[in-house]
């Protein structure tokens, strides 16, 4: 089987995530390729991100190919149904139902919000090889998982999840 070239990888439909960076000292926009750890850039305006992320993608791929780093391929959205089954203790199920009722939302909406918040917090731990709060355009250190600081994420608002979390902590203490 023929090894893929950089052009082969550039033709793949990678997922580009764009996030507004509301840092009051240095606001702007952050773009990252979701499938490629550390492949990101930051710009002052949304309009300049397209060229910048294309440059970061090319640079990331060049370094990965040179250094023999495995290159993940895009994951397609149709691979996921949006449904899965979770088994949990009856007491937690009851707590979740009661919290959803108090908040006036469905159990699915409550759990979706809680999962989204948790995933968002985990995603905020993206590698940053330049300076705190700002992702690099691309450096070799950008490929190193231990290279630096987290990319700022919009602050999480008060959600039903945080209320449920507080109640769960309180019930564990009793």
120 membership: H or E segment, kind and range: helix 107-123
- Dmax of the chain from CA atoms? 62
Model confidence band, residue 77 (pLDDT cutoffs 50, 70, 90): low
Provide the domain count of the chain: 1
Model confidence band, residue 78 (pLDDT cutoffs 50, 70, 90): low
- CATH number of the domain enclosing 112: 3.30.160.250
Paired with 134 in beta bridges are: 131
Please check whether residue 28 lies inside any domain of the structure.
Answer: yes
Please check whether residue 155 lies inside any domain of the structure.
Answer: yes
Contact 42, 134 (CB under 8 A): yes
pLDDT digits (tens, 9 = 90+) for 79-136: 677 888 999 999 999 999 999 999 999 999 999 988 988 887 666 554 333 334 433 3
Give percent above pLDDT 70 in the chain: 67
Averaged pLDDT of the chain: 74
Mean pLDDT of 62-88: 85
Residue 144 has pLDDT above 60, yes or no: no
Mean pLDDT of 151-170: 37
Please check whether residue 1 lies inside any domain of the structure.
Answer: no
Please check whether residue 56 lies inside any domain of the structure.
Answer: yes
Instruction: Count the Cβ atoms, other than its own, within 10 Å of residue 164.
Output: 22
- Its domain, for residue 42, covers 6-75+83-173
Please check whether residue 35 lies inside any domain of the structure.
Answer: yes
Closest CA to 30 of 64, 6, 56: 56
CA atoms of 80 and 40, how far apart (whole Å): 25
DSSP string, 14-69: PPEEEEEE--SSS-EEEEEETTSTT-EEEESSGGGHHHHHHHHHHHHHHHHHHHT-
Order of all β-strands in the sheet with 16-21:
16-21, 28-33, 40-43
Please check whether residue 147 lies inside any domain of the structure.
Answer: yes
Lookup result for tokens 């979701």: 34
| pTM of the predicted protein model | 0.48
């Amino acid at each position: 089987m023929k090894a893929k070239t950089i052009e082969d990888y550039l033709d793949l439909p990678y997922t580009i995530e764009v996030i507004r960076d509301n840092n009051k000292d240095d606001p702007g926009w952050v773009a990252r390729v979701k499938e490629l750890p550390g492949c990101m850039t930051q710009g002052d305006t949304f309009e300049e991100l397209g060229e910048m992320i294309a440059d970061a993608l090319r640079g990331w791929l060049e370094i990965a190919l040179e250094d023999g780093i495995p290159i993940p391929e895009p994951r397609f959205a149709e691979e996921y149904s949006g449904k899965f089954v979770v088994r949990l203790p009856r007491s937690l199920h009851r707590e979740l139902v009661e919290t959803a009722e108090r908040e006036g939302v469905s159990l699915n909406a409550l759990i979706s919000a809680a999962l989204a918040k948790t995933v968002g917090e985990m995603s905020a731990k993206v590698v940053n090889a330049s300076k705190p709060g700002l992702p690099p355009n691309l450096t070799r250190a950008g490929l190193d998982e231990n290279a630096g600081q987290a990319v700022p994420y919009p602050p999480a608002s008060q959600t039903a999840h945080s209320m449920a979390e507080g109640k769960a902590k309180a019930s564990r203490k009793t």
